[in-house]
Each structure stands twice: as structure tokens, then as C-alpha cells.
Structure 1
Amino acid sequence: MHRMEDFYKRVISQKLSNGLNVVFKHYPGDIVGIAIFIKVGSGDEGKYLGSGIAHLTEHLTFEGRKELEERLRQLGANSNAYTTFDHTLYFLEVPKQNWKQALEIFVSALFNPQVPQEVFEREREVVLKEEKFRDDDPSSLVFKLGFENSYISHPYKQPVIGHSYLIKKLTLQDFENFHSQYYTPNNCVISIVGDLEFSKVYKEIAEITAKLKPGFIFKNPYPYEERNFPVFYSQEYPGKLVYVFISFPGISVFDDDLQALDMLCDYLSQGKDSPLYQRFVKTGLCYTISCTNYTPFLQGQVVFFAVMETKNYSKFKEEFKKFLINFKTESLNTHRIQRLKMRLMYEMLKSQEGVLRIAQNLARDQGITSDFRFPLFYLKKFLELKSSDIKKVAIRYLNPEIACWVELVPEKEKKTALSPASLELDFDTLTLDNGLRLILCNRRLTGVVSIIAVFEGGVRFENNKNNGISQILVKSLITPDIQREFEQLGGKISPISGNNTMGFEVEVVGRNLKPALNLLANLLINPEFNFQEFEVQKNVQLGKLHDLEIDLFYQASKLLRANLFGEHPYHNTVEGSPQSINNLRINDIRDFVGRYFVPNNCVISIVGEFDASKLSKDIKKLFENWKKKKLDVSISEANPPSEVIFREKKIPQREVVLEVGFIIPGLNTPDRYTADVVQTLVSGQGSLFFNKIRRAIGAAYTLGGGVIIGPECGALVFYVATTPENKHQVREKVVEIINQLRTGDIQDEEIADAKKLLITRYNKELIENISYGFHLALEELLGKGAQNYHEYPSRIKKITREQLLDFVNKYLDPSRCVMVEVGNI
């Protein structure tokens, strides 16, 4: 607690004469985080209630001043925003030397937006498409329906994004009226976090906001609702799974039961040893189930959310009711409660790292509770909770007699039990004359179609001089105009950049698949680089690298890779280095694209509902003139070290991260599946690491394993985050556990559980179009073909105890590994 208290002692909060609340925290580094909190959300819309005008206002503040947005990018600033029921938060991170200019732009855009009629109409259309896009996602739709039915007349029953019929009625004058009422300095908190002096920050903010006048803030009264009856709502949708939203009337963030209800929800759903996971996921009844205490400014909800196969739904309804009854009478695990307290302590300590995260938290806490120290008081009470406190709120709030049960079920004519066939996993492959490989999976799961376009590239095709080029390349190609074009189609485009690949992922409403493909094809075949955008992305990447200088896990991974992979390109990281990014020139990008953005190095997967024969013809026409080129790539394997290589690095953090890495064979060997099982054995709650390190000696914040793998070679990495005083003990324990694996001291049940978890993960990947398409594309591009992805469960199931022990003894030799420690050493 004393570390938390020290953190807040160094936070300063003062108000200007116009009512603007300035919160400041000194934090070392070259990046400054800025957050601007406006105390208005969808619940405050008054006569515009249900129109989403608060959310539309968030859109318009920057879109109305495009030149300001471009100036921010030139300063290396990365900005974003969101709207909730009760507030709107704008935030950015920017290089320290540019913070004042960025804030001037930010303040001007927020408090003096100049929005012409055509921009207003365009952004209103974007929001309308966004609203349709949301309703095509069953998870988003069931939450919207859930909140609509959980309240009687409370403003929180209306969706933040608004209803389309009300959005269409909004005018530019409505926006101007709403903005002038709520976007005033006395309804605002600005937080600044960085290596600055408060006196100068305060003076600069006072000058920048001097012309802003306070306003009269009228808050519409929020009715307090006491629902004393159950609610049931059912809606069909064109999918295969059942989505369930179950809510119980909850509390506000100011309620005395806040901590106990939060603990109750964490106890029920956090981790693989949680009651909900054990009862519903491990038994195969649900794919996922969670419990969350939603506590906005006023009256929230306790929400259970679950996704399952149709055939399991009847049993789930019976089991869930029994579960609630039994839970209220069963004794609670005090060790689990203590672990959850430690988990929250860790999360709160982590929330005090990183300028942007801190700025957001300070602005939000000050804006909502009028006290930036709120987390300190929250934590103190949370740590004092007893089992009896949790029991009391379970009995008080989880009352089935007043539950709201909302279900999203498959259309009756489509109502069949989920199986690989009913989930429509079949796909067609097609190779064009130019070598472009296509994967088409036609399934009616949602109204959204996903497109993955990937090339071999990433770290594996980079060298020390151009490391990071793949990430800069794909980000530079997604210009603001490109983003806007996809958004206007009711979709989005995101970059892909990793160890082995580079490319793009696109999601779009089905009816706009063809124009989205046209945009993507032009991006792949005729990539155009804007020098200004390229320089902006370089600056953003350099800022990110500066921020990562004190990121424990990133620095540990970077140090381990540099010492484990030898001359193999994996000795570098995806993000690159300051030197390599600084030295990149736009001609380097063009040359890299010319060599690797070729059809015979590309796989495109499309998953969703479409006319297969028509789509095949459209794709052939789009890509038939894309010329193939010879690929000249030679990459050697990495060899394991001949001895233990130990490296350490001190960075200004409170914890220490230990990582131990071993070289393993590549992607196209049977060993890739065994590596996954070993990694799962040591990861998560109830794993070997958890039981023997965290549970036994209480010496770890987070721990587990990870796999880095590609066509030539890979690595199995074990990690533990601990305290400086426990680092030696933890290091010894990690080696002890690895030796335990080598001697075969492992239960068959532990191996079986690891396999089940991997197959559960695989089954979850099948559900979403984007993840399914991504994995099919990866197997086609790097592996033995897309069909190989379907063999994953059988490959995992067939791994024997003997195969696992042979793998461990062959590759996990503690006398031939790389071990790194990073942090407070």
C-alpha cells in the first residue's frame, strides 16, 4: 500500500479560474501522456436521448478540423477517444518536446470545433454504418439488448452509439447546441503525465485555455429504479451459437458494496480454476462465460455473459440456476480470495506505469469521483474484504426472482447443434496463374465478412539495418483516407506485422464485400507511399520504442531473443530498434514492397457469407494482372547454445522479469504440437508454474510460457515476474520444474488438462470469422497448407506421454539455454 500512497503523494490537482481541473503527475521518459475528460455521456443526452449525440460529438470534434488531426500526426502524437454512459475521454501520447503544441491542437479541436454541413452529414453516415456493424456482431448485439431490457426508463437503457432512426434526425444545430452546453472548462479535467515541471505545465494550460468561458451545466435527473420482477427477452439471429446476457440490478461506483461486488464477480469468473470456468467451460457446456460488475456513475448491473452450442442451451439454463443456489450456500476458498487481492494489487501497480495509462486513469478518477486518489481508497477496502462480505452481496444481489435474461438464438430454420460441419468449416482453395493463393470459406455466422491478406515477411525477412520495416510499411499504407474509405463501407482495416508475416486484416458488412475487395486489391497491387505519412509512422514507432524502454516484458524478450537466436533474424524484435527505424528511408520501403508484395508470396482468405461462384470470378478479374516475381530468400536455422548464457539488464521498475529460452524445431515438424502442450503445462492458474511458484511460495505476479515459431526454427520461453528479493528463489524453482519435466515427474491428468485447454482454444478460434481466416491463411502461407489447420485437435490428442518426455529431454536442457533477468536487479 505504501507504494500506492507514494504514487498519489506526487500527484497535483488544481483548478483554473474558469473551473478547468488540471491534474499533473511527473513521470520520467521522453513521452508525455495527455487525457481530457468531459463529464458527459449518452446518459446526459436529455431531449436527444437515444440519438447517440454524445458519441457523434466525439466523432465530430476532430473530423471537423482535418488539418489539426494531420498536424498532430506530424508531431508524432497518437490520439484516440471513447464515449460511455457518463463521460467522454480524449487522450494522446506525444514526444515531450511537442507536448504544448499537441495540447494547443487538442484543446482547439475539442472546444472550438468548426464543422461544416458536409462533414456533419458524412460523419453521421459513418456512425450509422458503425451502428449497423455493431448489430452484426452477436456479442455487441446481445449486450445492447441486455441493457435495453435491464432498465425500465433509465437513460442507461439506450445504447451509447444511438438508434439509427434517431441518429438520422440529428442536425448540425443539434450538435452545436449539445457541444456548447457540455464542452466547457468547468465540466472538464485535463491530466498531463510526463517529465515536466508542474509550474510550467500549469502556466501553459492557463494560457492555452484562457479564452474558454465556464458554462452552466444542467444534468438531467437520473431515476433510481428498483425492479422487483424478472425480465425475459429472446431474439433470433442468422448464426449458429447461443449468446446469453443475464443481469441483476446493481450499484453505482459510489456504493458501499462496490468492492464486495467486484470481488464476487472476480471470484466467480477470473481464471481457469474459477467456479464458472470449472462448471461450464471445462465441462464443455459453454465456450466462454464471464461475470462483470458494471458500475458507471449511477446504477449499474451485475452481468453474466455466456456463449454456447445450441444443443447445450437447455442444460445450461438448468445448471445456471442450480449454480446460483448452490454458490450461496457453499463455503468460499480463502486462498483464492487472497490471490484475487494480490492480483488486484498487481493490476493497480501496473496501472501506475506508462504515461498514457496514468493520464487516462487520473483524468477519469478525478472526473467521475472528484478525487484522483479514489483507487487508493478502493484498494484499501478491497484488501479488507472477508468471505462473509462476498456471501452477503451474493445473497443480496444475485436474486433469480428479479433477473433479466436476454438470449440471442439461431433462427429456427437454422437451429441445429454446433459441430464442425454446422459451423461451416469447409473451404475452397484456388491458385491463380500468378501464384496468388485464395481460401474461400462461405458461412452464414454473422453479417460480417473477414478478409486476411498476408505475405511472408516480418522479422524473418528483415536484417539489423532495416529491422521494423514490415511494421512501418503496413502502417504507412493505411493512411487516414484509406481508413475512412473502409469505415464508410461499414468496415475497418488493420495492419498485420509479426515474426513471419506482414499484411492486412479487413472486416466489412457483407453487402459491401466487393467494394472492400476493390480497395484492398488496389492497396496490394499499387501501394502508394506518402512521405509525410511515412515520417509520421517513423515518429510514432520511435515514440513507442522510447516508451518500451521501461517495459519489463518487452525488454526481457528483446534481451532473450538477441542472445538465443544467433544469426537467425528472430534475434531482432517486431518493433525494430531506434537505430534501424531512424535510418529507414522511403526508398527502403518501396524496395521492400517491390521484392515481397508479389502474388506468389501472398495468401488471401475470405470467411463469411457470399456468392462463391461470383466472388471467384470477381477475385480473378481483380488480381489477374498482378505480376509475379522470383523470391530470393535464404534463412538458416538457429542452433541451441552450447552452455547457459545468462544476461541481465537494469531498468527503473519495481519488479524483476525472468525469462528462460530454448531453441526448438520449426513449424512444419510434429514437435510444434508437443511444444504447445509443454507451454500450456506451465501457463495459467492451476499450471505447474502456478502451483509450484505462485501458490507454494507466493513469489510471482504473473508467469507462464510462450512459443515463438517459424518455418526454420522456434523457441520455447518460460517467464516469471517477481520481486527483487525473490528472484534467486524463483530462478532456482524454474530450473527445478524444468528438470521435473525431464524426469517425467508429471501427472497424466496434467497432460490431459493441457490438451483440453489447447483444443478449447482451437475451438474458440473457429468461431470468429477473423481468427479462423487468419489461421487458415497462416497454415497455407507458412505451413503444409490450410487443410493442416483442421488436423490440430487430432495432432494434440495423439501426443503421448513418451513423446512429451522425449521432446523435453531433447530440447529443454537447462545447461543449454538463455536466461535473462530484467528490472530492479
Structure 2
Amino acid sequence: MDFPATAATSETLPNGLTLILDPSPVAPVVSAQVWVETGSIHEGPLLGSGLSHFLEHMVFKGGGRFGPSELAETVQAGGGHWNAYTTFDRTVYYIDGPALGLRSFLEVLAAMVFHPHLPESEFEKEKDVIRREIDMGLDDPDDRGHRLLFDTAFIRDARRQPVIGHRELFDQITYDDLRRYHATRYTPNRACLCLSGDFDPAEVRETILSLFGDLPRGMEHEPTLPSEPHLLSPRVGRATFAVPASRLTLAWQTPPAGHPDQPALDLAAAILGRGRSARLYRALREERPLALEISAWCWTPVGSPGLFAVSAEVLPEHRDELLAALRQLIAAFPSTALDHDLEKARRQIASTQIKTLTTVSGRATDLASNWHEARDLDHTRHYLQQLDRVTAADIRRALGNLLTTPEILTFLDPIDAPESTATARMAVEAPSPESFSLPNGTQVSLLADARIPLISLQAVIRAGAPAESSATAGINRLLAAALPHGTLRHDAAELALTLESLGASFGASAGNNSIIAQLSGLSGDLETLLPLFGEILCSPALPSDAIERERASQLATLQETQEDPLSLAFRNLRPLLFGESGYGLASLGTETSLAHLDRLALAAHHSLHFRGPNLTLALAGDFDLSRARELITAAFAGLEGGDPWLPAASKLPESGERLQHLAKKQAVLTLGYRGCAALDEDRHALRFLQEWCSDMAGPLFMRIREDLGLAYQVGATQFHGFDTGLFAFYLATDPSQLELARTELLKEISQLATQGIPEEAFERVRATVLSATALDQQSPASIARHAAIDTLFGLPATHHRELTGIYQALTPDEVRSAASRLLALPPCVSIVMPE
């Protein structure tokens, strides 16, 4: 299926700023993005210091006519959701929100990006914040593995330096360095402003000219980037870390983007390691259970060598055997039959790219990325056309040539492990949703929308934490992971191959109240996908060998979360609030409970919960209503009926406190309160309170992080359960500042309990919540998920469409009253501290 040609326009203003406009009236939302072509590789004499990332932080301290709090307040008042990120070669600032806020969003972006205050009084304070962030990265195995790979693969390339910088080099950055770097690199001729969404192009262009048109062009000189020499011999890198399993990466250097072999190598990576039917996954995880997880990927940047790699997680005792088998399979790959897998890989990549068009943010990112990489707004479409022209012979030649070059091998091993031996823009009005029930009690919602040729099926099964006990903790998660491993009619390989050949994806997860399964694909494949979805849910094979592999993977994840301070703090918080049952249980289970979960246990759990009265199903996207009803009736008619499973009442203990020590650098504090049930009237007010406590303009961020510099990470989170819920506050800080941070956090919570959200900030919070609601109702997957979950709790399938009216009617007094009820009792406290 062809990637739609864009109707967006591009022009270069006299000062060099590129302007990309993608008007689309589908939904009243917009995405405004400024891409500055400067990143960590452009830091010149300060390469490796993280100066680009530091500057990204500092521009949020005010700009133009806005002070630091006024920037956040203006975005919030417009309902915007904003953030930024820095990579090797770009820094991106973006605001997503309602179309009515576009002018204020543009004014904020112009002020902060091109006219930042960069207050010297905030310089050292923000440095301390980033020092904590550097420490958190050093505590993260994924970050350490990434650093190890790039440090091994490159010897001169600037990308071997971490974007955030080395601590000792970061400490040397001066205030003058910061201002000089901004003046030199943040110039309009190095930037792109991309807008996608509901706006009038002529009107918005005038606004942009008034805000950005007078920016002075910068000098065209670029820093000299060191070139990476050809790899002359194999390279091996090894490090140890507190992880339960080894992380292994086998890689080769690739030519840069634009090389004729790039499309063939991308397809080779997809064939080898993309999805459950991929060759490496089938051979080294399913048929020969050596890897816990395995995938292949190809990264080809512009102008510099890239990497073709296979990454795997493996128990140390299987590491060398896996490496030998991996080398053997890859070496034999060019001589195997590829035609069928080639079509599957093309479909997978095309499906992924098409899905980016479902949101304004996705469309803007695609367009700006195309400009950044190729100066061609249709680069994605053109590249997919290149993929269509690749033959099996091209893949054999390209990969065969690559495998003649030296390999790069890295291991991130457990500490005690031995070393290895070795855009349709036309608005389409969707028909009214249709809801019905099958004879067995299954409730079905059909939400048709023909804008984009995608469909999404979402099934929600009433289960979750209250369906587990201390002996079966983790069973929902394990059952969800086992579902894709075949049905009574199709084994796992056939199932994965069928789905991935269509560019479709199936996933299942376990939450607090349910197991959720989803299947997404192209609309033309509904006749195949819907019956398969029914098979997976109604008659899963649950093979014992697959359960064993998923158990090993879940156990490794469990052990890893026990080494993550924030995850561990929340894990310890739950039993303090809810006891040793229901919501007090860890969703991943325990080592003891997982050891006793076998096929019999999973089959019994499936039989109890996967029944008509416990299941709600929603289909959203481009489909025929009548045919969808027929297919669903046939696919799910075999589910048993009977009485629904109902959770037991939660047993709520008194409040408590727990301290645990962990060999990490930062301290984490969590404060938990018993929150709302799913249908509690306070849930809407607490949505406002959570937003206020998590926003960059909110009291926690402004007081604890900005004014006092006590925490790098601070915010609030919540979930709603069958009869109770959780509302929690959290922060990550330096251990020496924990008590002061705790005191200040409790002061802010006390003020929330008595005052709620200040009236002068309330409308900004409302705008942000309304914006988030609109942004969350764009894609078929999110629409179907909302409908299925709401139906499970007895609400209409269209309840998500009513939220805007509910939030618009909410008053400060209602939020204040809900906050006082929530925070009336002392919190449960969970702390994780360094040893």
C-alpha cells in the first residue's frame, strides 16, 4: 500500500528559516515543532560536555517577554503539551495542543528557542539537576549498554560521546560557553518550523513572519566533524552491571544514508529480527530457547557510518552458545530463500510508517524528519518506493558484502558473570458507533472511521490484580505474554508469520483491573485478522515450552525492576496501602509465585476469566459495520457464558512506612494515598489534581525542582480500581537532600488538601487536561481502547466523547473538595536509599 503523498508546503524565509505547513482540519488540534540542526556532535572544543542538552534545559528558564513560570503558564493556558529533546545532530522543541492555542504556542517557541533569557542565577542550579540526570543514566542498564556499543563501534566519530555528556567535562562548562553556543548555533538558517493540524495557512504564515521573520541569519561556518576510519579489525567491548541477564550486541558498520545498499540492509534487519515470526526470534528464542529477547536493527545516519546489529538478552550460561548460533544463522542467511519474508518485511515497514499519520504530532515529526534528513518532505514515501524495488538478490549481495567486514561485539554482563570466550487531509465524518451483545454476554462496540486505512481491535478481560493471590501473583502478566504463542489451529510460527506478513501487530498486557489484548493492521485485511483475534483469545494453545520462556523473561524483568529505585519504591508502596492481596500484589509476581505457574494454572485462569460476561470488545477504524458484526459474532460465539467473575472487596490496612537500601546513586521517595474507584465521582477532579502536580508549571515542579533544586524528578500518578485506587506523589533526589525534599513535598501536599488548585491557575490546568483528552482520541487504537475499558465498567462506549463536557463543567471548589477527601489521612511512605 502506497504511503500517501504529502500536501504540505515548504518555503525558506529570507533569513534562512525553513517553514513547513501541513494544514489538516480532521481534528481541532495542532503540533508546532522547531527543529534546530545542532546536537552533541556540533559542540566543537566542548565535544563530550553535553552542552547542547544543557542549553535545551536552560531555554525553559524564560525568553522574550516571558519569565520562566510564564512560559509554562502560557502553554498550559492554551492547553498545550510541550517538551524537548536533544540527539546527536538536532534539538527539537514541540508543543501539541488545541488549534485555538496555536498563536500562543508559536510565541512561546520563538521566545524560548531564539530569545531565551538564560539567567545566570539559574546556571549552577540547573547544572545540579543535570548531574542527577547523569547519575540516573549511569544507573540504567539500557543507557550503559548503548554507551558501550557506541564507544566500541567508533573511535573518532563524535557520536561515541554521550549526548548528555561526561560528568567531568560537563562540570567545565561556563556560563559564557552556554551563551556563545546559543548565539552561534541557534540561528534561523539552521532551523525548521513545522506545523501540522487545524489552521489557516495564510493566517498562520503572517503570524510566523511577525515572530520569526526578523531573526538574523547566522554565520554559515560549521564545526569540523572528525571522520570515522574504516573498521580494520574486529572490536569487542565488555562491561559489568547489576543486571540478571547479559545484554549482547553483534554489529557491523554500514555505509551512511543514501548508499544504494541502505534499503536492502533495512529489509534484511526486518527479516532477521522484527517480530515474533522473524528468523532469529523463531530459531533462537522459540525453537531453541537460548535468548530471552532478540531483535535486529539497522541505523544509517546521514554523512557518517551506521550500524547493522543484532541485540539480545541472554542468561550468562547461554551467552556463548547463543553467540555461536547467531553467527551461524547470519552467515547462512544470504543463501536462504527470501521472497516471502521480503514481502512481509516490506509490509511491516510500510504499516509502521502509515501509522505515524494518525496524529498531528506524528505527521509533523515525519515532515520535519524528512526535511532534516533529506530536504524532501516526501522522503518517507520515496524511501518506501525504494524498498519496493529491492529484490532478494539485492539483499543477498548487500548483506553478503557487509558480513565480509569486521564485526563489533559488546557484552553488558551481570557483575559475577564470567567473560565470554569469544495524510489524507480530507475530513470524513464517522458514522455513529454501534453497540451490541453476543448471546454469551460479550459486549461489542463498533466505531467506524474511514479517514485512514487502518483497523484496531481491543479486547478487555475483567481480571487484574484482584484476580491474583500471593501464590499466583504475576499470572495475568504471564498469561498475556503466552497468548501469542499459537492457537489450537495455528502454531506460534504460523500465527506470527500470518500477522507479520500482513504488517499487523498483536499485543497483550496485564493491568490493575484487566488483561488487554489488541490487534492492529490494514483495513483490507479485516477478513483475516478478526477471526485470528478470536482464535487467540478463545482458544490459545498455551504451550508449556513457550510459558517457560516467557516465565524466564518475566523473571529477568522482575529482577531488573528490583534494581531500579523508582520501580522498587512503588513496588514496596502497594502492600502498605492495600495489604498483601489484590492491588497490593506486584504485577510481575515474585520469584516464588512465578516458579509455580505452569500451563495448568494458566489454562484454569484463562477458563475462569475469558468468558462472555467478562469480556468487552471494540473495533475502531476503516471497516464495513455489517460485515464486522458478522465476523465478530462468528469469531467469539464459542466463548462460554455464565455469570461474570466479580472481584472480592479490597482489604485496606493502616498506613505504614518502608525503607529499603539499594546500591544506586539517587534516593527515591513515594507517598501513597488511597484514590478513586473507576466509577467514583471524584475521578474527574483528581485528573485535574494529577495534572497540576505533574505539570512543569505546577507547584511540585516549580517549588521543589526549580526554586529549591531538591529533585530532578517529581510528580504524581494514579490508577482507578474496582473499589479503590492509588494516588501517589514521587520524587528522585540526592540522598543528602531527602529529608528536606520530603518536608517540602509534604508542605505542598498539605496546601493542596486545603486549597486545591489556585483559581488563577485553574483554567490553565483545564486547558491542558482538555488538550490531553483531544490528543488521546486521535488514533483508532486509542479510541477502541477507551470504548472497551469504559464498557467493561458499565459506561457507554462513547463515554470518552463526554469527557470534554465533564472537564469544562468542573469547578475549583469540586477539585478542592476532592483533594481534601483524598489527602485527609496520612500517606503510606516508601523510600529507596543508597546503601
Q: Is the pair's TM-score, using the shorter chain for normalization, greater than 0.5? A: yes
Query: Judging changes above 3 Å, is the alpha-carbon distance between structure 1 residues 731 and 161 closer, same or farther for their aligned structure 2 residues?
Result: farther
Matches within 5 A, 1:244-643: 410-411=425-426, 414=427, 424=430, 426-479=432-485, 480-481=492-493, 482-566=495-579, 568-639=581-652, 641=654
| Pair 1:774-2:774 in alignment | no
Q: Name the counterpart of 1:688.
A: 699
Instruction: Give, in whole Å, the separation in 1 of the partners of 2:416 and 2:581.
Output: 45
SS at match of 2:471: coil
Question: Deviations for 1:645-672, whole angstroms, at most 9, x for unmatched residues?
Answer: 2211111110011100111231112111
For residue 65 of structure 1, report the CA deviation from its aligned partner: 6.0
Q: Name the counterpart of 1:376.
A: none
Q: Name the counterpart of 2:43.
A: none
Q: Name the counterpart of 1:128.
A: 346
Query: Judging changes above 3 Å, is the alpha-carbon distance between structure 1 residues 71 and 767 closer, same or farther for their aligned structure 2 residues?
Result: closer
Q: Name the counterpart of 2:253.
A: 39
Residue type of the alignment partner of 2:393: Q
For residue 752 of structure 1, report the CA deviation from its aligned partner: 2.2
Alpha carbons 1:64, 1:115 under 8 Å: kept: no
SS at match of 1:445: coil
SS at match of 2:563: coil
For residue 64 of structure 1, report the CA deviation from its aligned partner: 5.0
| Pair 1:57-2:277 in alignment | no
Instruction: Give, in whole Å, the separation in 2 of the partners of 1:503 and 1:150.
Output: 37
Question: Deviations for 1:134-191, whole angstroms, at most 9, x for unmatched residues?
Answer: 453353677666666667799x996599434x545544433222112112452x3211
Instruction: Give, in whole Å, the separation in 2 of the partners of 1:823 and 1:185.
Output: 47
Instruction: Give, in whole Å, the separation in 2 of the partners of 1:191 and 1:478.
Output: 31
Range 108-117 or range 608-617, more displaced: 108-117
SS at match of 1:175: helix
TM-score (norm 1): 0.68
For residue 503 of structure 1, report the CA deviation from its aligned partner: 3.1
From 43, 58, 77, the equivalent of 2:292 is 77
For residue 527 of structure 1, report the CA deviation from its aligned partner: 1.7
Instruction: Give, in whole Å, the separation in 1 of the partners of 2:574 and 2:436.
Output: 37
Instruction: Give, in whole Å, the separation in 1 of the partners of 2:400 and 2:584.
Output: 54
SS at match of 2:243: coil
Alpha carbons 1:638, 1:663 under 8 Å: kept: no
Instruction: Give, in whole Å, the separation in 1 of the partners of 2:471 and 2:562.
Output: 20
SS at match of 2:257: helix
Instruction: Give, in whole Å, the separation in 2 of the partners of 1:29 and 1:147.
Output: 35
Matches within 5 A, 1:651-662: 651-662=662-673
The aligned length equals 600
For residue 109 of structure 1, report the CA deviation from its aligned partner: 2.8
Question: Deviations for 1:208-265, whole angstroms, at most 9, x for unmatched residues?
Answer: xxxxxxxxxxxxxxxxxxxxxxxxxxxxx43xxxxxxxxxxxxxxxxxxxxxxxxxxx
Cα-Cα RMSD: 3.1
Q: Name the counterpart of 2:244.
A: 30
SS at match of 1:573: coil
Instruction: Give, in whole Å, the separation in 2 of the partners of 1:646 and 1:138.
Output: 44
For residue 530 of structure 1, report the CA deviation from its aligned partner: 1.1
Q: Name the counterpart of 1:736.
A: 747
Query: Judging changes above 3 Å, is the alpha-carbon distance between structure 1 residues 59 and 741 closer, same or farther for their aligned structure 2 residues?
Result: closer
Residue type of the alignment partner of 1:130: Q
| Pair 1:98-2:318 in alignment | yes
| Pair 1:649-2:655 in alignment | no
Alpha carbons 2:667, 2:738 under 8 Å: kept: yes
Residue type of the alignment partner of 1:192: F
For residue 467 of structure 1, report the CA deviation from its aligned partner: 1.0
Alpha carbons 2:272, 2:295 under 8 Å: kept: no
For residue 526 of structure 1, report the CA deviation from its aligned partner: 1.6
Alpha carbons 2:350, 2:384 under 8 Å: kept: no
SS at match of 1:820: strand
From 801, 820, 827, the equivalent of 1:817 is 827
Range 736-745 or range 706-715, more displaced: 736-745
Instruction: Give, in whole Å, the separation in 2 of the partners of 1:593 and 1:448.
Output: 29
Query: Judging changes above 3 Å, is the alpha-carbon distance between structure 1 residues 661 and 112 closer, same or farther for their aligned structure 2 residues?
Result: same
SS at match of 2:640: coil
Alpha carbons 2:544, 2:598 under 8 Å: kept: no
For residue 111 of structure 1, report the CA deviation from its aligned partner: 3.7
Instruction: Give, in whole Å, the separation in 2 of the partners of 1:65 and 1:699.
Output: 46
Alpha carbons 1:542, 1:578 under 8 Å: kept: yes
For residue 101 of structure 1, report the CA deviation from its aligned partner: 1.9
Alpha carbons 1:639, 1:663 under 8 Å: kept: no
| Pair 1:674-2:680 in alignment | no
Alpha carbons 1:656, 1:722 under 8 Å: kept: yes
Alpha carbons 1:127, 1:161 under 8 Å: kept: no
Residue type of the alignment partner of 2:246: V
Residue type of the alignment partner of 2:831: E
Q: Name the counterpart of 1:178.
A: 398
Matches within 5 A, 1:187-226: 188-195=407-414, 201=419, 204-205=421-422
Instruction: Give, in whole Å, the separation in 2 of the partners of 1:675 and 1:490.
Output: 39
For residue 681 of structure 1, report the CA deviation from its aligned partner: 1.3
Q: Name the counterpart of 1:306.
A: none
TM-score (norm 2): 0.67
For residue 53 of structure 1, report the CA deviation from its aligned partner: 0.2
Query: Judging changes above 3 Å, is the alpha-carbon distance between structure 1 residues 702 and 150 closer, same or farther for their aligned structure 2 residues?
Result: closer
Q: Name the counterpart of 2:283.
A: 68
Alpha carbons 2:658, 2:830 under 8 Å: kept: yes
Instruction: Give, in whole Å, the separation in 1 of the partners of 2:399 and 2:667.
Output: 47
Range 725-734 or range 131-140, more displaced: 131-140
From 318, 330, 333, the equivalent of 1:113 is 333
| Pair 1:723-2:734 in alignment | yes
SS at match of 1:698: coil
Structure 1: segments with no counterpart, 5+ residues: 206-236, 239-409, 415-421
SS at match of 1:137: helix
